[in-house]
Amino acid sequence: MLLAIETSCDDTAACIYDGQRVLSHVVYRQEVHAAYGGVIPEWASREHEVRLPLAVQEALRGAGLTWADLHAVAAAQGPGLLGSLLVGSTFARALAAAQGRPFIGVHHLEAHVASLELGEKPVVYPLLVLVATGGHTHLFRVVHPLAMEAIGRTQDDAVGEAFDKVAASLGLPYPGGPQIEALAAQGNPGAFRFPQPRTEQPWDFSFSGLKTAFLYARRDHPEIPLADLCASWQKAVFSYLVDKLLGAAQTYRIPRVGLVGGVAANEYLRSLLLAQAAERGIEVYLAPLAYCMDNAAMIAVAGWHRYLNGLYTPLTAVPFARG
Ligand code: KG4
Ligand code: ZN
């Protein structure tokens, strides 16, 4: 019985996992940030302080367990907001020490990749995985859940961050991704052409130009309905992502790709990837919708792999903001 904790950013989550099934999962999405266009780090830490003990108790109760039933405790160790990470990691290390159980520090991006294993289809390795979140846009060549190499990453904004900034420019609440997706669903994706970004390295990404292009298009073309502009922008962003992911799969001769992270919750992106991959004969693994945004089940799966391999983390290990 593994207790997993996630507090990297603005979601407070706890999960009980038995190595095969998620027995209980609790996630509290902090609402205090909604009106501010992004996460306010100090407020996020304070919310975790209040919510985490409640989330853990609820997860234990949901699985019908007590503290003494736990065999190991895992928590996100980074990257993320340091104050937020400290709340979850310190809680987990103290609990592990008190119960005399191993502590397992989990890399947040490794956990997003591991969320694929929560899907219906058993994952076949190796595969290329796109991690698309509010803080990261990374392309990984994954040979095993614990062995992955970043072959590309964003050179500026993360893709989710670009959605959040575009939404904020329209006065829409944070997180902006679902807001833009809802607007785009009512618009014509062929209404406006956005330029495709370029990067020096083939598998890197850039989103700041696309973000700025949206702001200019909105200013210079007030006659284009907002829904049409959002639909066109979303199409440009996701065609770019999908082309990269599938292009990398072909170049690396790995006919399997995965899509994870908060942005992977976008239905337009999910269906675009499925359709384009089918044309190229590439198999797709999608993170389940419930486990795209930050959650503790993905920490549990990654933590479980570490647990099975005896990869315990010293109680003296401190969280890290980057890396
Ligand atoms: O993985 P996540 O919960 O947290 C990080 O690790 O950053 O991702 C949050 C990001 C936010 O930027 C949010 O706007 C974006 O995921 N997002 C979406 C959608 N749902 C969440 N972006 C586009 N479409 C969505 N439906
Ligand atoms: Zn995340």
Q: Is residue 147 situated within a structural domain?
A: yes
Q: Is residue 172 part of a domain?
A: yes
Q: How many CA atoms lie within 13 A of 171 on its CB side?
A: 1
Question: What is the value of pTM for the model shown?
Answer: 0.97
Instruction: Give the residue among 257, 288, 286, 283 at the shortest CA–CA distance from 270.
Output: 286
User: Do 282 and 302 belong to one domain?
Assistant: no
Number of domains in the chain: 2
Give yes or no: residues 218 and 304 share one domain. Answer: no
Give residue 211's domain range.
Answer: 123-286
Kindly state if the Cβ of 78 falls inside 6 Å of ligand 1. Answer: no
128 falls within a domain: yes
Residue 26: name the closest of 302, 294, 291, 296 by CA: 296
Cα 167 to ligand 2 centre (Å) = 19
Residues 142 and 209 in one domain: yes
Ligand 1 site, residue 37, Cβ cutoff 6 A: no
Shortest-distance atom of ligand 1 to CA 80 = 6
Count CA within 13 A, CB hemisphere, residue 113: 31
Q: Are 271 and 161 within one domain?
A: yes
Q: Which atom of ligand 1 is nearest to the CA of 294?
A: 3
Q: Are strands 256-260 and 283-286 parallel, antiparallel or unpaired?
A: parallel
Residues 145 and 279 in one domain: yes
Query: Do the domain assignments include residue 320?
Result: no
**What span, in angstroms and rounded, lies between the C-alpha atoms of 186 and 5?**
37
Residue 216, helix vs strand vs coil: helix
Same domain, 157 and 243: yes
Dist. CA 188 → ligand 2 center (Å): 30
Q: What is the pLDDT along the chain (323 residues), one digit of tens a residue?
A: 999 999 999 999 999 999 999 999 999 999 999 888 889 999 999 999 999 999 999 999 999 999 999 999 999 999 999 999 999 999 999 999 999 999 999 999 999 999 999 999 999 999 999 999 999 999 999 999 999 999 999 999 999 999 999 999 999 999 999 999 999 999 999 999 999 999 999 999 999 999 999 999 999 999 999 999 999 999 999 999 999 999 999 999 999 999 999 999 999 999 999 999 999 999 999 999 999 999 999 999 999 999 999 999 999 999 999 98
The span from the CA of 153 to the CA of 131, in Å, is: 9
Residues 184 and 270 in one domain: yes
173 in the same domain as 45: no
Alpha carbon of 294 to ligand 1 centroid (Å) = 8
Clarify whether residues 106 and 152 are in a common domain: no
Which residue among 238, 263, 289, 292 is best mutated to probe the pocket of ligand 1, counting the most ligand atoms within 8 A of its Cβ? 263
User: Rounded distance, CA 292 to CA 26, Å?
Assistant: 14
Same domain, 272 and 302: no
| Burial of residue 290, with CB atoms counted within 10 A of its CB: 0-12 exposed, 13-18 middle, 19 or more buried | middle
CATH number at residue 149: 3.30.420.40
Spatial neighbors of 149 by CB under 8 A, at least 6 apart, are: 140, 141, 143
Using the mean position of ligand 2's atoms as its centre, give its distance from the Cα of residue 137 in Å.
Answer: 10
